[in-house]
Amino acid sequence: QVQLQESGPGLVKPSETLSLTCTVSGGSTDYYYWSWIRQPPGKGLEYIGYVFYSGTTNYNPSLKSRVLMSVDPSKRHFSLRLTSVTAADTAVYYCARLVPENYFESSGSGTYWDFDLWGRGTLVTVSS
């Protein structure tokens, strides 16, 4: 049974870099998209981005200038770095597996996307 577990510092100072790792246990990082999502206290979910096992990335345009994601297949983990953090970056950070499935209909074609497996999340507070 594949499980995801986030890890990293729970407290980061303003202007510094937030670094988190998600460990994939019971499986491999191969052939999947691995994503990060966050939830500020009292607010909704926000998509941060994904990294494909090959290294291709997709970042939320609102965070793109500060985000870097990578995957390390040998260690079965993937990582998030968010630079120049402020108090607005305080949130529970979740890692999740993102699974696409192509479809073909009479009206056209497209892709279904599902976050089918999540970690429990880790709270990161930005404060001096």
| Kind and range of the H or E run holding 59 | strand 57-59
Q: Which stretch binds another protein (CB under 8 A): 24-32, 39-47, 68-76, 82-90?
A: 39-47
The reply on whether position 8 binds another protein by CB under 8 A is no
The reply on whether position 2 binds another protein by CB under 8 A is no
The reply on whether position 37 binds another protein by CB under 8 A is yes
Return d(Cα 112, Cα 67) in angstroms, integer: 25
Q: How far is the CB of 9 from another protein (least distance, A)?
A: 20
Is 40 in contact with 65 (CB distance < 8 Å)?
A: no
| Among positions 10, 55, 74, 101, the unique one binding another protein when judged by CB under 8 A | 101
Q: Which of 2, 3, 21 is nearest to 124 (CA)?
A: 21
Residue with tokens 């980061």: 12
Q: Which of 73, 66, 74 is nearest to 36 (CA)?
A: 66
| Among positions 19, 23, 58, 70, the unique one binding another protein when judged by CB under 8 A | 58
Residue type, 58: N
| Among positions 93, 94, 124, 126, the unique one binding another protein when judged by CB under 8 A | 94
Is 102 in contact with 109 (CB distance < 8 Å)?
A: yes
Q: Which stretch binds another protein (CB under 8 A): 23-31, 55-63, 74-82, 83-91?
A: 55-63
Binding residues (CB under 8 A) for another protein: these are 4, 35, 37, 44-47, 50, 58, 60-61, 94, 96, 98, 101, 103, 110, 112-121
